[in-house]
Amino acid sequence: MQKKRYVVLDALRGFAILGICLANFPEFSLWTFSDPAGWTVTDKVTRAIQTFLVDGKFYTLFSLLFGMGFSIQLENAGQKTRTFYRRMIVLFLIGLCHLLFLWSGDILMLYAAMGMLLPLFMKLPTKKILFAAGVFLVLPVICEAIFGTKLSDPLVTEQWRICALYGITEANFGTWLADIANYKGMLQFLHQGAVERMWEFVSSYRFFKVLGLFLIGYAAGREKMFANLEKYRKLLKNILLYGFALGIPVGFLYTWSSMTGEPLGPLAHSVFYLLSVYPMGFAYAAGFSLLFMCCPDGKGWQLLARPGKVACTNYLMQSVLGIIIFYGIGFGLGGKVGLLCTEAIALGVYALEIAVSTLWTNYFRYGPVEWVWRMLAYGKRLPLRNEPTVRLS
């Protein structure tokens, strides 16, 4: 059972990494910055499908899995949480480097910051943790109703002040990364992009969202849910049923709102997000787990588990490959391909990650980023290569 537990968690991480690749590559390809008036029918259909099936759902799943992982780390730390805090500090620094030197869409830095709050909930019973999680997930809607974007307006001013320093304007904003031919130009864009990312966190109140999802994942991990899936079969079926029953119809409203510029306003859009993205993300996790229980020894799970074992490395590698494929310092395809082609490229990148991850994990116990992360957290060198298998004659 222990072996199956880790397979399903790694496979879920691998599934989440696929969804994140599909969600992020329209940003890397600069298609997101294109004028909707110029979208083809194929672009519009692909965008609607992506919004309905992908947008937010896989970050929900990724956040839940991080929360589960943090529960294991805290359990291993016992009463001594210093090692856990060191792990969060190192993760924060990895995310900061990602934000400043590779891509403005980093999420690891926020994950680390919110992860540091989890020890505050360790002594609470599971029901109270889940109640707190629900409050945090609803808070963005309440904050939207009270504050709107007022809290983040100063960050918008600062972003455009930085843009003015480098000559980044509204006219060339969407093509800057495709036009630049050197890393210096990319760094200039990342400078303003780091401020823009902070604006996104504040304007969407994403810190509340992430913390709420972490707490749900933490509760599931603490209850050893994935160590005994059969025990929770009925709960998983209910999550699947009610998650899709609510998420799918509201998901159509969320997709319509996203595709038409939020005609009912940001508050209604925030409500649509709450009632569609989370229920569908939870249903994805439950449905995946139920499928796993039907055939736990299937080879397909192992295929997904390989990239999931080195999920952090693969997340960062997607940024590297996105830069190489789409930016001017690479092949410069940004702004030259449609959304359907962009997503096909994302699938190709994921297939490459499966192949490389499979090869890597055959010989090494950690991904390169995970290995460095662990060594910096523990302050000592850790073995990287897998122990040789001893055959008994």
DSSP state of 173: T
Span 105-151, pLDDT tens digits: 999 999 999 999 999 999 999 999 999 999 999 999 999 999 998 89
| pLDDT at site 386 | 87
Span 197-241, pLDDT tens digits: 999 999 999 999 999 999 999 999 999 898 889 999 999 999 999
| pLDDT at site 79 | 54
Q: What rounded mean pLDDT belongs to the chain?
A: 94
| pLDDT at site 280 | 98
Residue 202 tokens read as 């504040």
Say yes or no to pLDDT of 345 above 90. Answer: yes
* pLDDT > 90 fraction of the chain, expressed in percent and rounded: 87
Say yes or no to pLDDT of 389 above 60. Answer: no
* Residue 70 neighbours by CB distance under 10 Å: 24
Distances (CA, A) of 325 to 41, 46, 279, 334, 385: 24, 20, 34, 8, 31
| pLDDT at site 298 | 87
Task: State the Cα–Cα distance between residues 190 and 158, nearest whole angstrom.
Answer: 14
Lowest-pLDDT range of 71-85, 245-259, 289-303: 71-85
Tell which wins on pLDDT, 393 or 285. Answer: 285
Instruction: Name the one residue in this structure whose structure tokens are 């989440």.
Output: 16
Whether the Cβ atoms of residue 263 and residue 257 lie closer than 8 Å to each other = yes
Span 143-202, pLDDT tens digits: 999 999 889 999 999 999 999 999 999 999 999 999 999 999 999 999 999 999 999 999
- pTM of the shown model: 0.94
| pLDDT at site 393 | 37
| pLDDT at site 78 | 59
* DSSP codes of every residue in 132-146: HHHHHHHHHHHHHHH
Task: State the Cα–Cα distance between residues 163 and 191, nearest whole angstrom.
Answer: 9
* Mean of pLDDT values over 283-302: 93
Say yes or no to pLDDT of 3 above 50. Answer: no
Span 18-67, pLDDT tens digits: 999 999 999 999 999 999 999 999 999 999 999 999 999 999 999 999 99
3-state class (DSSP) for residue 379: coil
Please, which contacts does 273-277 make with residues 24 or more away whose CB atoms are closer than 8 Å?
Answer: 273/56, 274/137, 274/138, 274/140, 274/141, 275/246, 275/247, 275/250, 276/246, 276/247, 276/248, 276/250, 276/251, 277/55, 277/56, 277/57, 277/60, 277/247, 277/251
Task: State the Cα–Cα distance between residues 94 and 54, nearest whole angstrom.
Answer: 25
